[in-house]
Structure 1
């Protein structure tokens, strides 16, 4: 195969194809100083990492440990670190973390704080060894104290994605039935009597009173970041209110840790889930949406790099590499070895993505909507080669649209869908939604396709190439693009005709995209910028 030039010379706007696979190491990135590259490109895309509270204790308590951590950051283009003050019923020593903070700053890195709200006090009746009962008054006081402590050290604090509750204890049940949240002696009414209602109000008010206000009482300059998990279809069930909390917090962060689909413990998430949730929350948060966050758990170097790519393709302005301690063991070192080889290219792709607007098939997912037996089905559409544009508002002007059972959250959905169908634009419905809409909208219209979920979204990974093509073809027609590829090859399309194709298969594939025929190596991507 004729080698392709991966990186254009300085000052030359190259519009050709770039091709990359995990096994390829280009000469340019090998010679690049990643620390200088990270500093130069951080405004386009920032790489940062997090030291858990236990990492701070174990790795940053000595000058030698801090020096080693700084060198690791420099070798990974990491220009910012989050130092955690609390996790799992452990709070770091103030002197230790203050010394580490000051040393990182002196070395030229930005430093922020972090808190993970696990084992804060009274255990939940649900995930007992991690999650707390936040109705409990003593637990609330512990929470407030943790944020006051952190705010005394940092001007920015991220709250990790354990900021939820699944408790159904007698105290929680009584408060739910009374439709009342109590925080520090103050009572707040709850709109309804469901667990969703109660938990949403509880965690929303705690965010305002004992996270944001408590931190700012200590440090008026402090900014608060909420990191959302990847399980977006269940946010509202456990207290995440992405509309209110996104409005209340200064920034939001997104869990893009998809890992290996077939991993026995961590699997079940296709790689395209990372860009889907990144784009969906990005649409809600707008300028408040900062970065994505992925880890080494349940990954190989292939899937770790795919997490990085999909986070950037999702429009993230930063990538948080969780976490320093974990990346020193298991698959972490190999993951980082490969990531470092490709950071220069990832930065160039990030710059191109930032200049453009994605286009494609709108995937409607209203806030706080229940997926029923179609949980996270939007994650899988990208694996069929459909360029997906997730949205939280009805996509009236989209060239084509995909709808699932979550759309039923919208009280005007049936009427809006009838209008959309009447325009003749392509519509894809899940089989579950089609069944529910029968008699309300013309579900047999010729411009409607059906996605055969059959109550098991993961089974979509087993569709044949022909089945995937039959679903994809009509949806792409209004975009004016022809894309021929096997199943498990993703496409990102931009309004100017630029594109990215990524092969998630373990063997080479041949694709046809916008009149070009290309062969992609296993687990590689290709792109053209117009």
Structure 2
């Protein structure tokens, strides 16, 4: 879809919505459907909706609707080419996995934020329960719907796990969060563009001001206006140690899309701390997606309108990875390798 239209749907939704519905009742989501919305931007948008649905492991796809296919015959040709391309590797992909994001049933708050985070290269896995076997759990404002959420956060931290809470949740349940760390999201705002050694954004971004007790919590990523040679700054990623784990506060701009304007190094730091459950992460700009599977396969896709180079970071002692559509080997040095993606394309890898 065209994100500038009334629904403001982000590209990543085509993947994320299927995964979330599948997680609600595994095995009972029998497919996805794709219409021609957004195809006026270019047929790549139609193809993208199709392959993102397949990346999510949808067992079948419905092309909606027949009258659209008759009116725009190029849609059928694009669908055929997309299916031929994805048939080359879909059988190689395992079960999708990502950063666990707990969304209680019927919960609202910071709606669709996970789609914006997915567009910054953070693989999302939205689930309707608080997991007990994850190193990191992401909690947006949606988690306020669980009356026992503070107890679940403490239990996660006590067993040595981490929790990432957004400023939306921090503001929604301040008293419950205060039982874990003396941190609060105020009504004050700040305009920022300088992320210090993590770089600068191309424009000013409006964020909520997070207040905390010095030495009780520590800023991992900071920003100001200016921060470098300035007199104050504000946390973008804040670490709050508790028991055997850490609660991190992730500052969400008032406009979710401003996450895309975060400098590369700031995003890289956020990806590093949020990806403990994954053996793969990327380094580079926003609007590059990462899709990870449980059998060592993964996909890197560019949503950008220009070529982009990114680094893929692997854990372990991997020396070679293979790109499946080209049958090309990439050498891994110091757990990293670099790739270049043309606009609106993807590469599929197997370790």
Q: TM-score, normalised by structure 1?
A: 0.47
Which residue of structure 2 aligns with residue 523 of structure 1?
A: 344
1:483 to 255, 275, 282: 282
* 2:86 corresponds to 1:346: yes
* 2:202 corresponds to 1:466: no
Cα distance in 1, alignment partners of residues 83 and 16 from structure 2? 22
Which residue of structure 2 aligns with residue 418 of structure 1?
A: 154
* Superposition pairs of residues 384-463 of structure 1, within 5 angstroms: 384-435=120-171, 436-437=173-174, 438-442=177-181, 444=217, 445-446=240-241, 447-463=246-262
Cα distance in 2, alignment partners of residues 307 and 287 from structure 1? 22
1:365 to 103, 122, 126: 103
Equivalent residues, number = 264
Q: TM-score, normalised by structure 2?
A: 0.69
Cα drift, residue 343 of structure 1 = 1.2
Contact 2:134 2:277 in 1 (8 A): no
Which residue of structure 1 aligns with residue 43 of structure 2?
A: 301
Cα distance in 2, alignment partners of residues 315 and 441 from structure 1? 38
Contact 1:375 1:457 in 2 (8 A): no
Cα drift, residue 393 of structure 1 = 0.8
Between structure 1 and structure 2, the one with the greater Rg is 1
Cα distance in 1, alignment partners of residues 248 and 34 from structure 2? 34
Which residue of structure 2 aligns with residue 284 of structure 1?
A: 24
Cα distance in 1, alignment partners of residues 63 and 263 from structure 2? 35
- Structure with the larger strand share: 2
* Superposition pairs of residues 211-222 of structure 1, within 5 angstroms: none
Cα distance in 2, alignment partners of residues 370 and 285 from structure 1? 19
Contact 2:135 2:276 in 1 (8 A): no
Cα drift, residue 265 of structure 1 = 4.2
Cα distance in 2, alignment partners of residues 369 and 455 from structure 1? 20
Contact 1:364 1:393 in 2 (8 A): yes
In structure 2, relative to structure 1, the CA distance for the partners of 1:287 and 1:430 (3 Å cut) is same
* Superposition pairs of residues 152-231 of structure 1, within 5 angstroms: none
Structure of higher RCO (CA pairs closer than 8 Å, 6+ residues apart): 2
